[in-house]
Amino acid sequence: MSTLQLETRGSTLVVTLYRPDKLNAINSIMLEELRRIFSDEQFFQSHRSIVVTGSGKAFAAGADIAELAACSRDTGQDFAQRGQYVFQLIESSPIPVIAAVNGYALGGGCELAMACHLRFAAETAVFGQPEVKLGIIPGYGGTQRLTRLIGVARAVEFMLTGEYLAADRAHTLGLVNRVYPHEKLLEETLRFCAQLEALPKTALTSILHCTYGVQLSAMDVEAREFGILCGTEDFREGTAAFLEKRTPAFKGR
Ligand code: COA
């Protein structure tokens, strides 16, 4: 992979966006490489979580403006749909995906962070949807995900002005789950991932599926998933361990 670096740390796959000289701007090659990872069942089976982070001083400073600039009325919609498709794959991951936002998360970079299930940020991270300043709008799902995360009024203000948010304000607004000193960000994110490892994979997958994968009849899906989980070995183990006052040993089935 030329724009991503992959590393397994414990049971976590760390995906590092790697175009540091371009602040990890998301070009078509990076998008295709992300697509390959997040549509590969093997990665989900061999890991318990995925961390997405950036190299250098940025998480990602947006879609690659050099490529974007070539878009016309005919090709602009395809450009947006390609990104939407890949970010949807990320959100649909059956294992938790955490953005470790180490610096600028602007435009498509902010949208990528929002497609992840959780966002942990360095104190120095900066968030923004500055597309309006280029005469366009967030096109990789940002108008929808930002609204869901921080509410309509704030999301609209944020997109209309294109203003940047520092990590602490992003945290206050609910865009970011946790904030850490820059040098601790990856270590703390991996520590969180290790905590998830002790929990039953089946239930984690169901929580993600109910939260993100449901368009219609959410209650029916929730009840169905609940029923499925009641038939798992992990459910027997979790309840038995509680009643027997011991630590459960989950097997992911
Ligand atoms: N697309 C393509 N290239 C980008 C980019 C993007 N979204 N963001 C940064 N780069 C490139 C710059 O062109 C520059 O390349 P060069 O060294 O070959 O000239 C390099 O990354 C470093 O960026 P630079 O602007 O010099 O860094 P800076 O620290 O002065 O400023 C930012 C950082 C993030 C404020 C600034 O790069 C910026 O505003 N980027 C665009 C943000 C944006 O509008 N994103 C939404 C896109 S839809």
Which pLDDT score is estimated for 74? 80
Whether residue 45 is contained in a domain is answered as yes
CA distances from 30 to 74, 133, 243 (A): 22, 24, 49
Whether residue 228 lies inside any domain: the answer is: no
Residue 151 backbone phi and psi in degrees, to 5: 95, 155
Q: Does residue 233 lie within any of the structural domains?
A: no
Query: For the purposes of burial, counting CB atoms within 10 Å of the CB of 40, is it exposed (0-12), middle (13-18) or buried (19 or more)?
Result: exposed
Atom 34, ligand 1: residue with shortest CA distance = 61
From 65, 102, 143, 164, give the residue whose CB has the most ligand 1 atoms within 8 Å, as the site to mutate: 65
**Number of folded domains in the chain?**
1
Do the domain assignments include residue 117?
Answer: yes
Least confident of 40-44, 162-166, 228-232: 228-232
What the block records as the tokens of 50 is: 């995925």
Percent of the chain with pLDDT over 90: 77
Name the residue of 18, 19, 23 whose CB sits within 8 Å of the most ligand 1 atoms, as the mutation to test its pocket: 23
User: pLDDT tens across 142-167, in order?
Assistant: 998 999 999 999 999 999 999 999 99
The mean predicted confidence, pLDDT, of the chain is 93
Is residue 238 predicted with pLDDT exceeding 80? yes
Structural domain boundaries enclosing 171: 4-183
Do the Cβ atoms of 24 and 13 come closer than 8 Å? Answer: no
Q: Measured from the CB, is residue 63 less than 6 Å from ligand 1?
A: yes
The CA distance from 68 to 70, in Å, is: 5
| Atom nearest to 134 CA in ligand 1 | 44
* Mean pLDDT computed over 31-40: 97
Strand partners of residue 52: 15, 99
Is 119 contained in some domain?
A: yes
Task: Inform me whether the pLDDT recorded for 218 exceeds 70.
Answer: no
pLDDT band at 223 (very low <50, low <70, confident <90, very high): low
Q: Pairing relation of β-strands 12-17 and 49-54?
A: parallel
> Is 196 part of a structural domain of the chain?
no
Q: Is the pLDDT of residue 122 over 70?
A: yes
CATH number for position 24: 3.90.226.10
In a domain, 192, yes or no: no
Domain-embedded: residue 224: no
- Starting at the edge strand found earlier in the chain, the sheet holding 97-101 runs 4-9, 12-17, 49-54, 97-101, 118-122, 178-180
Segments in the chain forming alpha helices (H): 28-38, 41-46, 65-68, 73-91, 108-115, 142-150, 152-161, 167-173, 185-197, 201-212, 218-230, 233-243
Residue nearest to atom 18 of ligand 1 (CA): 22
Residue 174, pLDDT > 90, answer yes
The set of catalytic residues is: 111, 131
Segment 91-115 mean pLDDT: 97
